[in-house]
Every structure is written in structure tokens, then in C-alpha cells.
């Protein structure tokens, strides 16, 4: 059996239905094998697009997303997507072609021996869970099994197999190949400290992070919330995990969520890293009167403490939620009422035009839809103002914050789900991977592109107002940044186009068209993301500053509980 045929057969046994990649000389054998299989192989128009599509596929299905590229520039073009998978814990397998083993430079002092030879393994080791160059075809089964295990074991993430061309075309006997045997796992973690803390708390709050999503524990979380009536706040990446959430915390988060954290006496952080965007630069000022219990599958994340005396539990969030389900049911308390009152006091206080546009668009997106966003103001507006319906899922490029994520990720999501996907972008981010409109058009993939076009790189323009005396270099037309005619671009790709200039243009039937659509939302005013935290301040004291009487009133609410 040819090795490339074995690789494809292996992917089929793991339930992989779609892979993404771009042709190149060193992967021609893999391409040929894919073309003779039942796996759908989708050519994107940039390797970065393939990497993000694999991320979207994995995020939607929970399976390992697969992308491939040839050696040299093909492999290096995957790196942004690999980083995205690493920082957001997305199980992915990246297969790169490599020059023949007999062409590889090895220990020679030359920069390169074979054409397009590049040491991709050394480049990606810091941003993968595992990366290896395969030099023996007899070890192919071992490396594939090991890669799939590592991608999904513990904190999920990307792996990379770099395969020379002569290994792809080698003849092998599958029955003689050595397999991979993982080491035995550790025993269950002690979760008594968690359940004891919940039992003794008067003002508890669950802080749900994206680990809830990667662990497949969303339904379990909502069972716990329903049973124990503990208020839920989230991180930005987890805004879709609970319909009962009070919003997401952090620099651009909900004032309500930030106040609730500040007033709590117990924060149960489940799969949340508690980084600076979430808890602020002054970590001790986050939830200052609360005990913090952190449940984290990656023990390395616990080395960065939020409070010196926090309770740290290295465990799967599923196990933690199961332990909480074992507690006696708990009725709503006065604390729940305080949380509701805070939300009512602050209702609509930060709603501006972009937020209202997002809210209205969310009204016409159906239940159980998948939504992707890009990076920039559009991302925050969606996180702040999208009204999440039953079963909807929202995916961001979180830790890596990669512009250009939304469109190709939406392709992977749509092919995985078989349903329309709603892809939010800004005029800057969409141009990072705009070529993938051809992938959508070619395969008639039902991706609904929602472009917020303010003809500027709005988030950086705002920084320039704050710190650089309105010197709008490279962020607005007069500073050298311009945008194309997106209607003409949609027409060139033969994708139906609609322009929206005001909220009233957003009709209930906006997304009734079958297949792909391109919706351009024109915003002809300077845009901002508010509320916004000034560096060093406590999370709940965001700008524009609240009237001090209202601020003090909210801080006093429920102190007697």
C-alpha cells in the first residue's frame, strides 16, 4: 500500500469528512490519494485560509481539523492558523510536505539543500503540542496515532507532521506497522475544595471560560446553573455557553458582569485563563472580596495566579461540573436578585449604533446557527450585543487575535455543520483572506458574510485619539488606509450582495437567500468600543465613567448578604 493512501485511510477511520489545503509539489501524492477517497478535499486560495478552515471544522464538530500544505512557503503560510489553534485549544492536525529525505540538508552548514526546503518543525514547536518530521515510512502508523492522541488529550491543540515526498510515495505493509500506546492517565482530581466553597458561599458566581466549549461541557454547565441557581458570567470566547449569562468580564466586557465579579464572595473559574484582558493589570483588584477557585486542565496556566490564596484544581471542567451536580438543589437567593438589579440599572447604558446594528442582525439569525467573527471592533460588538438564541455557537480568534480568521473559519464551520454560517468581519480583517470568497462561490457554501465597513481600522484609530494626538496614520483614508468597492467585489465573485445603511434596512428576511450572501453594513461615523477599561483600574470602573452616585449605589447593593 502506498503511504499516502494509508494516511488518507487513517483519516477516514477517525471520522474525518473534510480536509483543507493548497496544492504543491511535495504533497502531490497526498492530493492524489485524497482525490480517490470519500474525504472531501477543499482547495483554499491561501494556506492560511486552509488552516483557519480546519480550525472552524474542529470547533464545530469536536473532531480533529486537518489542513495540508507543501514545503517552504506553503508550510510557513500555515503558521498563523497553527498559532490560532494553539492559543484557543483547537484540536488540529497540520500535514506539511517536505523535500525527499536524501535531499534534506541535515547537519550541513548550508541554509538550504533542496528546493523550498524549510525546517518547519523547529519553527512551530513553540506553538504546537507536538511537531515531528517523519523519516521512516515504517513509523507512519505510530506518528499518526500519536498525533491524533496528543491533539485531543488534556488541553487540546495543534500537532504537525512534516512528511518528505519519498515517505509519501513509499510502499508499506499496514499489518506490520508499529502502533502508538499512550501512557496511563492519572487518577481523578479531588474536587472537595470546590464543593465546600460553593456550600459556604453567599454570593457565588461561575466564571465560564472557553474551556467549557472545548471540553464539550456546555449542556452540563447549564444543568448546574439550573440546579444551583448560581449566577453565570463568562469570558469573551464563552459568551454563547449560557442563555442565563450576565455577560462577559474584562477590559471590553459587560459592566454588569464586571460589577457582579467585584461584589462576589466566590468566583468559580471553569476553563478560564484569567489573563490581563479578563481580570485587569492589577490582578489583586479583581473580585477583591472573593475566594477564587480555579479549575484548569492545563496545570501550567495555574502558575499565573489571580489571587495569591486562590484554590487551584488541575482537573477537567466536566469532572468539576459533575461534582457540582452532586450538591443539593439550591433555590434562587437575594444574591440572584442583586445581580438582576445591577443588570437593570445598567441596561442600555453603553448601546451605540454598531451595538444596535449587531443586536438587530442577531434577531434575524435563526436558532442553532454558527457565527464567526473577525478581530477588531466587530468582534467586541458581537460579543457585547449579539442576543444568543438556543443552540447558537459563536467562534472567535481569541488568544492569537488574528485578523482574517472569520471568513475561512466560517467555511470550515459550514462544511462541518451543513448549515448556514454567519461570518462577521470588519473592512480590515476581511481583506486579510478575501480570496476565500472564491472558495465559497465555487462550492456554493452557505456562508453569510456580514461586513461592518467604517472605512477605517477603528480600534487602532481610537488608540490614536487616546495616545497620539489624533495622528491617524495608516488607519483612515486621509492617513493612507482605504477600502475597495465591496459591492463590486461581491459581484466579481457572483455572490448576492446587499447594502445596509441604517437599522431599518435590516429586514426579517435578510438571510432568506439560499447559498452564500454578502451583506455590507456601512457606518459613516467614527466608531468606538465602549465600555473600555483604562489600564490599571479595577474592572468595574470602565470608561466612560459612570456617574459616581450610580457607581457607589451599585457597589453598595447586597453588601448585607
291-296's contacts with Cβ under 8 Å and 24+ in sequence apart are 291/197, 291/201, 291/265, 291/266, 291/267, 292/266, 292/267, 293/193, 293/194, 293/197, 293/266, 293/267, 293/268, 293/269, 294/269, 295/194, 295/268, 295/269, 295/270, 295/271, 295/320, 296/211, 296/269, 296/271
Buried b (16+ CB within 10 A) or exposed e, 492-523: ebebebbebeeeeebeeebbeeeebbbbbbbb
Residue 516 has pLDDT above 80, yes or no: yes
CA-nearest of 407, 353, 382 to 523 is: 353
Residue 240 has pLDDT above 80, yes or no: yes
**Are 91 and 67 a contacting pair, CB within 8 Å?**
no
Q: What is the pLDDT of residue 376?
A: 96
Residue 506 has pLDDT above 90, yes or no: yes
Residue 186 has pLDDT above 90, yes or no: no
Q: What is the pLDDT of residue 75?
A: 98
Integer Cα distance of 106 and 103 in angstroms: 9
Residue 357 has pLDDT above 90, yes or no: yes
Residues 6+ apart with CB under 8 A from 541: 533, 551
Percentage above 70 pLDDT, the chain: 100
Residue 51 has pLDDT above 80, yes or no: yes
CA 464 to chain centre: 27
pLDDT digits (tens, 9 = 90+) for 251-299: 999 999 999 999 999 999 999 999 998 998 889 999 999 999 999 999 9
Q: What is the pLDDT of residue 183?
A: 87
Residues 6+ apart with CB under 8 A from 34: 8, 19, 41
Confidence bin at 478 (pLDDT 50/70/90): very high
Q: For the chain, which domains are there?
A: 3-176 (3.40.50.970), 192-345 (3.40.50.1220), 353-522 (3.40.50.970)
* DSSP bridge partners of 20: 42, 67
Q: What is the pLDDT of residue 184?
A: 79
Tell me phi and psi for residue 163, to 5 degrees: -120, 115
pLDDT digits (tens, 9 = 90+) for 8-19: 999 999 999 999
Residue 188 has, within 13 A of its CA and on its CB side, a CA count of: 9
Straight-line distance from the first to the last Cα atom of the chain, in angstroms, rounded to the nearest whole number: 70
- Over residues 78-104, mean pLDDT: 97
CA angle 429, 433, 436 (to 5 degrees): 135
Q: What is the pLDDT of residue 536?
A: 87
Integer Cα distance of 147 and 142 in angstroms: 8
Count Cβ atoms within 10 A of the Cβ of residue 555 and give its class: 0-12 exposed, 13-18 middle, 19 or more buried.
Answer: middle
pLDDT digits (tens, 9 = 90+) for 300-335: 999 999 999 999 999 999 999 999 999 999 999 999
CA-nearest of 374, 475, 391 to 425 is: 374
* DSSP bridge partners of 171: 2
Confidence bin at 61 (pLDDT 50/70/90): very high
Confidence bin at 185 (pLDDT 50/70/90): confident
- Over residues 518-535, mean pLDDT: 95
CA-nearest of 65, 124, 134, 66 to 98 is: 134
CA-nearest of 394, 391, 382, 401 to 521 is: 382
Residue 188 has pLDDT above 80, yes or no: no
Confidence bin at 535 (pLDDT 50/70/90): confident
Q: What is the pLDDT of residue 144?
A: 98
Integer Cα distance of 259 and 539 in angstroms: 8
Residues of the chain by 3-state class (helix, strand, coil), percent to 5: 40, 15, 45
Residues 6+ apart with CB under 8 A from 36: 5
- Residue 463, C-alpha cell as written in the block: 488608540
Residue 14 has, within 13 A of its CA and on its CB side, a CA count of: 27
Computed over every residue of the chain, the mean pLDDT equals: 96
- Over residues 412-424, mean pLDDT: 97
Confidence bin at 392 (pLDDT 50/70/90): very high
DSSP 397-435: --SS--TT-HHHHHHHHHHHHSS-EEEEEETTGGGGSGG
- Residue 31, C-alpha cell as written in the block: 492530493
Integer Cα distance of 380 and 404 in angstroms: 15
- CA distances, 338 to each of 308, 397, 412 (Å): 28, 33, 42
Residue 82 has pLDDT above 90, yes or no: yes
Determine which helix (DSSP H) or strand (DSSP E) holds 269, and give its type and residue range.
strand 266-270
pLDDT digits (tens, 9 = 90+) for 437-471: 999 999 999 999 999 999 999 999 999 999 999 99
Confidence bin at 243 (pLDDT 50/70/90): confident
Cis peptide before 531 (omega within 30 of 0): yes
Integer Cα distance of 424 and 421 in angstroms: 10
Residues 6+ apart with CB under 8 A from 24: 69, 70, 71, 74, 97
CA 135 to chain centre: 33
Q: Worst-scoring range by mean pLDDT, 24-33, 102-111, 124-133, 332-341?
A: 102-111
Angle between helix axes 334-345 and 548-556 (nearest 10 degrees) is 170
Q: What is the pLDDT of residue 281?
A: 87
Amino acid at each position: 500500500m502506498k503511504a499516502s493512501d494509508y494516511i488518507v485511510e487513517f483519516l477516514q477511520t477517525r471520522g474525518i469528512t473534510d480536509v483543507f489545503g493548497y496544492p504543491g509539489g511535495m504533497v502531490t501524492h497526498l492530493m492524489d490519494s485524497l482525490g480517490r477517497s470519500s474525504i472531501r478535499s477543499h482547495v483554499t486560495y491561501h494556506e492560511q485560509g486552509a488552516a483557519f478552515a480546519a480550525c472552524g471544522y474542529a470547533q464545530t464538530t469536536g473532531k480533529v481539523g486537518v489542513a495540508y500544505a507543501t514545503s517552504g512557503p506553503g508550510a510557513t503560510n500555515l503558521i498563523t492558523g497553527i498559532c490560532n489553534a494553539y492559543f484557543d485549544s483547537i484540536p488540529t492536525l497540520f500535514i506539511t510536505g517536505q523535500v525527499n529525505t536524501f535531499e534534506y540538508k541535515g547537519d550541513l552548514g548550508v541554509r538550504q539543500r533542496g528546493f523550498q526546503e524549510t525546517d518547519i518543525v523547529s519553527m512551530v514547536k513553540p506553538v504546537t503540542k507536538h511537531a515531528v518530521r517523519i523519516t521512516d515510512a515504517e513509523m507512519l502508523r505510530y506518528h499518526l496515532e500519536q498525533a491524533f492522541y496528543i491533539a485531543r488529550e488534556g488541553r487540546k491543540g495543534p500537532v504537525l507532521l512534516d512528511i518528505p515526498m519519498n515517505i509519501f510515495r513509499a510502499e508499506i505493509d499496514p499489518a506490520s506497522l508499529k502502533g502508538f500506546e499512550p501512557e496511563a492517565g492519572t487518577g481523578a482530581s479531588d474536587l472537595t475544595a470546590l464543593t465546600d466553597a460553593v456550600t459556604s458561599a453567599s454570593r457565588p458566581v461561575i466564571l465560564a471560560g472557553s474551556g467549557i466549549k472545548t471540553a464539550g461541557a456546555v449542556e452540563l454547565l447549564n444543568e448546574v446553573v439550573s440546579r444551583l441557581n448560581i449566577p453565570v458570567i463568562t469570558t469573551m470566547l464563552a459568551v454563547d455557553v449560557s442563555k442565563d449569562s450576565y455577560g462577559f468580564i474584562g477590559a471590553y466586557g459587560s459592566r454588569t458582569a464586571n460589577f457582579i465579579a467585584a461584589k462576589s464572595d466566590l468566583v468559580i473559574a471553569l476553563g478560564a485563563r484569567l489573563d490581563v484582558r479578563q481580570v485587569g493589570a492589577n490582578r489583586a483588584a479583581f473580585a477583591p472580596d472573593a475566594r477564587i477557585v480555579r479549575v484548569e486542565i492545563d496545570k501550567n496556566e495555574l502558575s499565573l495566579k489571580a489571587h495569591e490564596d486562590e484554590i487551584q484544581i488541575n482537573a477537567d471542567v466536566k469532572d468539576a461540573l459533575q461534582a457540582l451536580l452532586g450538591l443539593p438543589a439550591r433555590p434562587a437567593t437575594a444574591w440572584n436578585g442583586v445581580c438582576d438589579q445591577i443588570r437593570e440599572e445598567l441596561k442600555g447604558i453603553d448601546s451605540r449604533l454598531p451595538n444596535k446594528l449587531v443586536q438587530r442582525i442577531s434577531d434575524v439569525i435563526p436558532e442553532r446557527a454558527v457565527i464567526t467573527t473577525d478581530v477588531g471592533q466587530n468582534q467586541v460588538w458581537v460579543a457585547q450585543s449579539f442576543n444568543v438564541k438556543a443552540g447558537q455557537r459563536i467562534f472567535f480568534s481569541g488568544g492569537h487575535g488574528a485578523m482574517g480568521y472569520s471568513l475561512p473559519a466560517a467555511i470550515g464551520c459550514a462544511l462541518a455543520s451543513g448549515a448556514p454560517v454567519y461570518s462577521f468581519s470588519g473592512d480590515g480583517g476581511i481583506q486579510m483572506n478575501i480570496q476565500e470568497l472564491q472558495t465559497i462561490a465555487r462550492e456554493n457554501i452557505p456562508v453569510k458574510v456580514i461586513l461592518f465597513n467604517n472605512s477605517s481600522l477603528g480600534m487602532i484609530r481610537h488608540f490614536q485619539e487616546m495616545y497620539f494626538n489624533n495622528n491617524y496614520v495608516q488607519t483612515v483614508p486621509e492617513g493612507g488606509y482605504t477600502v475597495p468597492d465591496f459591492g463590486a467585489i461581491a459581484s466579481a465573485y457572483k455572490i448576492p450582495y446587499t447594502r445596509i445603511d441604517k437599522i431599518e434596512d435590516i429586514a426579517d428576511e435578510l438571510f432568506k437567500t439560499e447559498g452564500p450572501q454578502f451583506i455590507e453594513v456601512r457606518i459613516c461615523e467614527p466608531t468606538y468600543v465602549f465600555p473600555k477599561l483604562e489600564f490599571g483600574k479595577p474592572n468595574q470602573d470602565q470608561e466612560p465613567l459612570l456617574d459616581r452616585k450610580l457607581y457607589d449605589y451599585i457597589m453598595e447593593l447586597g453588601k448585607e448578604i
